[in-house]
Every structure is written in C-alpha cells, then in structure tokens.
Chains A and B, each alone.
Chain A
Amino acid sequence: MAKVIGLVNLHSDIDFKGLTERRPVASVSFLGRYGVIDFVLSNLSNSNIDNVGVLIKEKPRSLFKHMGLGNSWNFNSKSGGISLLYNERYANNPHYNHDINNMIENIAFLEKSKADYVVIAPEHIITTMNYQDVIEEHEKTGAEITMVYQHIKNADQSFIGEHCLDIKSKRVVEVKENKGNRKERNISLDTYVINLKTLMKLLTKAQNISAFFNLSDTLAYLCDEREIMAYEYKGYARCLNSIEAYHKYSLEFLDLDIFSQVFKSNWPIYTNTNDTPPSKYKKNAQVKKSFIANGTIVDGTVEESIIGRNVEIGKGAVVKNCILLSGCKVSAGSHLENVILDKEARVEKHKELIGDKDSPLYVKEGDVV
C-alpha cells in the first residue's frame, strides 16, 4: 500500500475580522465544541492518514495548544505524528509567507516522510472527504497531480473569490477566479493529491517562476503544460471565507438535513477535549433548535443559536441567531440577536445587542459590554 502523508494548508488570506485578530482561522471555535481545523484533521484521520504536517501561516499560539500531541485525531502512533510547520523567517513578510516557502523551510518533514503521495487540504473548506477515494482515482489515472473540485450551481452566492476550474476530459485546463458572475462552476476545493517526488520538484520550479507564487498559483500556471487530473467530490462542502460565511454556515447546521450530511456514524469529528461537565438547564430555560456544548448553564431563552463550552445565560435572557464562544456570560434580562460573542465576553450593561442577519454584531474576546 502506498504511503501517504497529509498537509493541512493554513496559508490563505482569509480572515474572520475580530475572531482572527489573535488566532488563525484554524483555531476559531466552530459549532460550539470544535475548532475549524478539526474537520480537515478528522478527514485525514478517517482516511487512515496519521502522519500530518500543518503549514502554519501566522498567530500559532492557540493552534499549538489545540493540537497537543495529536492524540485527539489519532495521530499519536509510532509511525505517524503531527508536525507543526512554521516559517519564522517570513512570518512578517506577507508576499513571501506562502505555502511554497513554508514547505521549503520545512523540507525535512517531506524528505523524512518517505511518502509516495501527499494530500494537501485547507482548513477553511469544510468537507467530509475520504482522501483514500481521491488517492484511488489518482493511482488509477496514473496522474502525478490530482485536484479536487466540486460542481456547484450557486457559484454566484458561495465560494466567491475562490478558484474555479475549466475541465476537459477530466483534466484541468484552466484555473480562474470565481467572480460570482455565473451560477454553475467547478470550484477548486484547494485539495490536492501530489506525488511526493513531483511536489519536491514543484517547489523548485515555483521559485523559478516567481518567488511570490504559492502552490495554487503554481498549479494554475502549469496546468496547460502539465497533466493535472480533476477529481469531482460530491459531498458536503462549505467555504468559510468570511465572518459572514462563518455565521451563516454555522447556523445552517441547525437544519438537521445539513447536520446529518456531516455528522455520520462512520465519520467521527474529533477534537481535543476539556473535561467540561454536562450542560445544565435551569428552571427558566427555553432552548429550541440550538447546539449547546458542555459546561453551559442556561436559565433563559435560546433559539437557533450555537452555544460554546462553559457559557452562562442568565435568568430571562434571550439569545437568538447567535454564536457564543466558550466562557461567555450573558447576564439576566439581556437580549441578543445576530450576535457573535468571542471567548469570555460578558454582556452586562448594554443589555440589548441586535446585529444584522447578514452582518452579525461581533464582541471581542474578554470584552465586557
């Protein structure tokens, strides 16, 4: 059996405004008990890939803490492991701080892996992709590079700014930007299977074309001269490329049809755990259509919201269409709609916080309002 390693690629320009002021998108809390990165890590784990590198772009502190030894995702085998790959040299140099330079800086990880194939996937596109299916196709076609895409019919509303592909007889012939001007597109999921030897050569090649080129630029540049196979993924895929998308697609999970596309009994989503007790619903609790993480104490009304760990919702408080990250406190009698409270924020004085459905009100980590 071929040896496969995984690379989670955190090099992108996406930010979630205040949510990513001090942390990468990868460790932003998602659905109350996960970090955004848990989905791609779980896909790797469920695809039996246990040697994984994380290409970190910036603000690594919370990510280091989240990852630990990787046991939560089963990466702690003797043959596998998790390697946090950081490019100190270009940390403060945006044009140079890209995935190609990170891989060159940490080339030892690739060299020592003795892998046949490398699976590269981003953290911000949430899927339940089985990479073994992609690898099987990759082997069958004999390709050196396979790109994963999804054919979507709402490209005017989602994945805007992401790459889309022109495909002819299963080959990628052009890579363009999805400007949102057409409904049907083959959207690149920024997910690749590449032969390790090919990847090593690409790193040198990319540098010769442009020192600013990242991996997707390089593949786009080369697609008319190299054979790049296209693999169609048909499962759940959402692109968290803004705080608005994060808010929208988080709350979309409250629809159980969407929920059951991702949470399947044969595809566990792993995360690191905190020994939080069960949540407590007090006398005045009225919770409907919501996700509640453990450790939360509710004595108010919660509707169509996602509540993180150890949140306290006081007596008679109302929380609607909100995302509350861990450790928040909403004092008695407050009223919150379309609000994102970052970790440990406390609503005390300003009791009515109403955001817009398409543009949620954001309260910073630890702020008291």
Chain B
Amino acid sequence: MNNPSILIYTLVMAGVTYLLRAAPILIFQKKIENPFIQSFLFYVPYAVLAAMTFPAILTSTRCWPSAVAGLVTALTLGWRGKGLLTVALAACAAVYVVELILL
C-alpha cells in the first residue's frame, strides 16, 4: 500500500464530503420538504453500514470461526445498546481469544 494513493483517496473523500456540506449552504436557501427524500436520507446511514458489514465481516479476520465470534459478540452487546468503543473492543477480544485457541 503506497502513500501517494492514500493521499489521493483522502483528497477524493474529503472533496466529496466538503462539497456535500458546503454546496447547500452556498447555493440553496430552501429546505427539503419532500417526505420521500427526507425518509430516504434518514435510512441511508443504516443501510450503508449494514451493507458494508455483511458479508465483509466474515472474511475480515484470519479464520472464519474468529469472525463469527466477533460478529456474535458485537451483535449481542450492540443490541443491548453498549457504547461504540465497548462493542468494538469486545469484538476484537473475542476474535483474539478464538484465534489464540485455533491458530
């Protein structure tokens, strides 16, 4: 993974993000009233996070049983409303323990 390409990726991400934030402030002055677009924008973050997590999480670790352990841990704690860092670290711990046993 070479540095220039990470720089370019960063510039693309930052550029698109900034345009989304700045363009409406600088160009439009009216509010979106369309209920379909409002609802669509409300659902997008959840849909995108779900699509990014599955099935990718299953191949993110060094073996699939550890990935399943991480997934189950995250689902259980996330369902109970635990904080982001707690859930993330607990999932990592589950992966670590399973890999310690299997690898």
Partners in one complex: no
Q: Which residues of B contact A (CB under 8 A)?
A: none
